[in-house]
């Protein structure tokens, strides 16, 4: 079985982007961590990043037809996207929302997630370890 790990806008810049907030890891580093954790948990990892909202919608639909679950860091679309909310509602596999930073300790506009009401649960604030925790949560949800 496969878990999708979907990354939204600006996450391709991890490592150089506000390292005080997001840490020094690149997205490639995080992909390697996810692959290692997937192996431990017995899942293949399909790891993707896009800066485009509609591409995330397409990938959520694709995962709904082919994958066991989704871990998603939707970046800033978390706070704006009804389309992502609806896409998650339209599929049956478990979805876990995750963030590197503790969005609740930051600007007010990051406190609201448009996708949180549509997902199984939310993990935020643990840096790159948020990805590992999200994969472990998906493992427990797919038993
Ligand atoms: C983020 C938090 C979002 O508010 C922000 O827009 C991001 C990254 C995080 O992982 O902490 O792009 O999702």
Residue numbers in the known binding site are 73, 79, 86, 100-101, 110
| 12-42 pLDDT per residue, tens | 999 998 888 998 899 999 999 999 999 999 9
Q: Tell whether the model's pLDDT for residue 48 goes beyond 90.
A: yes
Q: What average pLDDT does the segment 61-82 reach?
A: 98
What is the CATH number for 76?
3.40.50.9100
Report the mean per-residue pLDDT for the chain: 97
CA-wise closest residue to 125 among 140, 139, 110: 110
Ligand 1 proximal residues by C-beta, below 6 Å: 10, 73, 75-76, 78, 99-101, 103, 110
Terminal-to-terminal C-alpha distance of the chain = 12
Ligand 1 atom nearest 73 alpha carbon: 13
Ligand 1 atom nearest 130 alpha carbon: 10
The percent of residues in the chain predicted with pLDDT above 90, rounded, is: 93
Domain count, the chain: 1
pLDDT, position 23: 87
Taking the C-alpha atoms of residue 46 and residue 70, their distance in angstroms, rounded to an integer, is 9
Q: Tell whether the model's pLDDT for residue 130 goes beyond 80.
A: yes
Task: Give residue 127's domain range.
Answer: 2-141
Q: Which of 22, 25, 77, 131 is catalytic?
A: 22
């Amino acid at each position: 079985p496969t878990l999708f790990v979907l990354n939204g806008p600006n996450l391709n810049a991890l490592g150089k982007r506000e390292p005080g907030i997001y840490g020094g890891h690149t997205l490639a580093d995080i992909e390697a961590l996810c692959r290692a954790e997937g192996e431990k948990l017995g899942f293949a990892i399909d790891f993707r990043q896009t800066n485009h909202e509609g591409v995330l919608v397409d990938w959520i639909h694709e995962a709904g037809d082919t994958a066991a679950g989704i871990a998603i860091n939707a970046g800033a679309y978390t706070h704006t996207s009804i389309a992502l909310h609806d896409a998650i509602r339209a599929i049956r596999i478990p979805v876990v929302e995750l963030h590197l930073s503790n969005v609740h300790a930051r600007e007010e506009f990051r406190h609201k997630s448009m996708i949180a009401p549509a997902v199984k649960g939310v993990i935020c604030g643990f840096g790159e370890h948020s990805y590992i925790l999200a994969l472990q949560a998906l493992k427990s949800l797919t038993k």
